[in-house]
Amino acid sequence: MMLLPLAEATARKLLGIGIPGALPFVQHLTLWIGFLGAALAAREGKLLALATGELMPKGRFRDASKVFSAAVGAGVSALLCRAALDLLVIERDAGTEIALGVPVWVGQLAIPVAFAAIALRLVWTASEGWRGRALAALGLAVGVVLGQYQPWLEFKAVWPWLILILVATLLGGPIFVALGGFAVFLFLAQGIPAAAVPAETYRLAVSPFLAAIPLFTLAGFALAKGDASGRLLRVFRAWFGWAPGGTAVVTAVLCAFFTVFTGGSGVTILALGALLLQALKADRYEDRFSLGLLTASGSLGLLFPPALPLILYGIVATIPIEDLFIGGLIPGVVMVALIAGWGVREGIRSGVERQSFSGREALRALWGAKWELFLPVLALGAIFSGLATLVEAAALTAFYALATQVLVQKDIKIRGELLRVFTECVVLVGGVLIILGVAQGLTSYLVDAQVPARLVEWVQAQIDSKFVFLICLNLLLLLVGCLMDIFSAIVVVVPLIVPLGAAFGIHPVHLGIIFVANLELGYLTPPVGLNLFLAAYRFERPLLSIWRAVLPMLAILAAGVLLITYVPSLTLGLLGLLGR
């Protein structure tokens, strides 16, 4: 996936011709990496799920809930597997090709293989005993039967199945099961074959820009697994450590830098948490403040280019991704500045000692981290200069990050560690892309059912003020961000709110930045914001103490979201200056 876009860009620049089939092959490699990565995520128990399951007390009820969720998940996975096999038969009969004589069904083969592997893995991990696994296998058998006799569900009430799936999801079942299960049963109830879901999954996977997401993610993993964080921390402390609250400011900036490439996936907290907490403790910041700062900073950076949520939003909302990159710059700075400002206040209030500025140390630190600091310059320069497409720029960024960390800095050893970087990246990408794929199926059903149009009519009948609409939108997105990961929320919710934004005269780019900013806040919203659980796990603290620590940060970022929402010039000012 890295080499094909790089070769394509090079050949186009030097020879004036491209490589036949380069982009289609990269798109189908994205499909394979996404779904085989999802199978690996199932094996390692890393399929994304609602955090509500973690709130249940340990014991028999929790064990029974796990078996029930696994049974439902295995059944839905089996049904999706059969639907994907039906799609393969259709494509094989049609004889369509990817390029160079390679049939499309070969590219699509990853979908049923992955769903079958996930179904079996959910059964196996449902319980440590054979009784629990046997009960989970009953769910698998039901899914196989429903897949074989799909017409039985046509034009029948499917709400009992939907309730079953919803309960399983609230008890900790994978999110893709809810989205994919809802899509399949709703389609079948309308007399539409279940193959419509994997067909929409395939359509999203081969979109021209989606391949940028796993490639940028790989760049982020390469930085996180090496010692890039230590070098960057040294740079920021050398240049800003003299200021009041300097280490707290550095923490916010450094976390934002990493989150740009990891997409708010939690990698920032897991990778940098120990290092930054140690730095804050060394400067004698209060423990509660340090925990709150690190938890909040883990989602900073989602508004800066080339953040993955901005790319996906542009794909789903069909607006120029470069415009979202430009529109998010000032709002991103506002969010980081608010957290950094609170850090300055804490530094002054607590009397934290400042380190003296040393020009020699600042230059040495800058030189030591020159490769990492050049990375965003390279990525954005490739995109905005027009020398590379978004996917080509992502491939260049990933290749550069790996080359510098493996060959130049030698933080990642080729034997053993490099493979682990690829594996962990694929697992994360798979857990996300399988959700995006099935969510696209649910979105297709909602559009076919004219849900967005009816929602616009209802909202306009109830709300006639743009101000009130934006308040309601903020509250809705805060709830969505609390319950769903940002990627699935984009695929499911964006098609519903884009027509609403147009109806109330909200600029499409401004709406996109409002959306991402609210979802950034949702990571911190108790009781089930994702960053809260990741911080509790990483720092080995009770969840309640994390909730308390993050409340001041939550209030500060909420003020930032309101500022971004009601001052559109923050988003649209640069676009206007650039004539876009």
Residue-wise pLDDT tens digits, 526-550: 766 777 877 887 787 887 888 888 8
48 touches 231 (CB < 8 A): no
pLDDT at 265 over 60: no
Q: Residue 424: its pLDDT value, please? A: 87
* Integer Cα distance of 412 and 397 in angstroms: 17
Neighbours of 578 (CB within 10 A): 10
State the number of CA atoms in the 13 A half-sphere of 515 facing the CB.
32
What are the tens digits of pLDDT across the range 303-348?
998 888 899 899 989 999 999 999 999 999 999 999 999 988 888 8
Mean pLDDT of 89-100: 88
Whole-number Cα distances in Å, 40 to 62, 230, 398, 566: 24, 30, 21, 43
What are the tens digits of pLDDT across the range 364-390?
999 999 999 999 899 989 888 888 889
- The residues facing 102 across adjacent strands are 99
Structure confidence at residue 363 as a pLDDT band (50, 70, 90): very high
Phi-psi region of 219 (alpha: psi -120 to 50; beta: other; left: phi over 0): alpha
Look at the block and give the residue holding tokens 């603290």. 541
Question: For all residues of the chain together, what is the average pLDDT?
Answer: 87
pLDDT at 84 over 80: yes
pLDDT at 352 over 90: no
State the number of CA atoms in the 13 A half-sphere of 253 facing the CB.
20
* Integer Cα distance of 309 and 317 in angstroms: 12
Q: DSSP for 440-478?
A: HHHHHHHHHTTHHHHHHHHHHHH---HHHHHHHHHHHHH
Q: Residue 371: its pLDDT value, please? A: 92
pLDDT at 403 over 90: yes
Of 396, 390, 418, 516, the C-alpha closest to 221 is 418
Percent of the chain with pLDDT over 90: 34
* Integer Cα distance of 456 and 163 in angstroms: 26
Residues 113, 115, 120, 121: is their CA dihedral positive or negative? positive
Q: Residue 48: its pLDDT value, please? A: 80
Structure confidence at residue 54 as a pLDDT band (50, 70, 90): low
Q: Which of 78-92, 174-188, 207-221, 482-496 has the lowest mean pLDDT?
A: 482-496
* 108 Cα distance to chain centroid: 23
Helix (H) or strand (E) holding 209: none
State the number of CA atoms in the 13 A half-sphere of 404 facing the CB.
25
* Integer Cα distance of 210 and 438 in angstroms: 15
- The residues facing 97 across adjacent strands are 103
Q: Residue 242: its pLDDT value, please? A: 81
DSSP-derived 3-state class of residue 9: helix
What are the tens digits of pLDDT across the range 406-433?
999 888 898 888 998 899 889 888 888 8
What are the extents of the domains in the chain? 24-205, 212-577
First-to-last alpha carbon distance for the chain, in angstroms, is: 31
Mean pLDDT of 201-213: 86
Q: Residue 56: its pLDDT value, please? A: 67
Q: DSSP for 74-129?
A: HHHHHHHHHHHHHHHHHHHHHT-EEETTEEHHHHHTHHHHHHHHHHHHHHHTT-SS
> What's the pTM value of the predicted model, to 2 decimals?
0.86
74 touches 192 (CB < 8 A): no
pLDDT at 81 over 90: yes
- The residues facing 174 across adjacent strands are 49
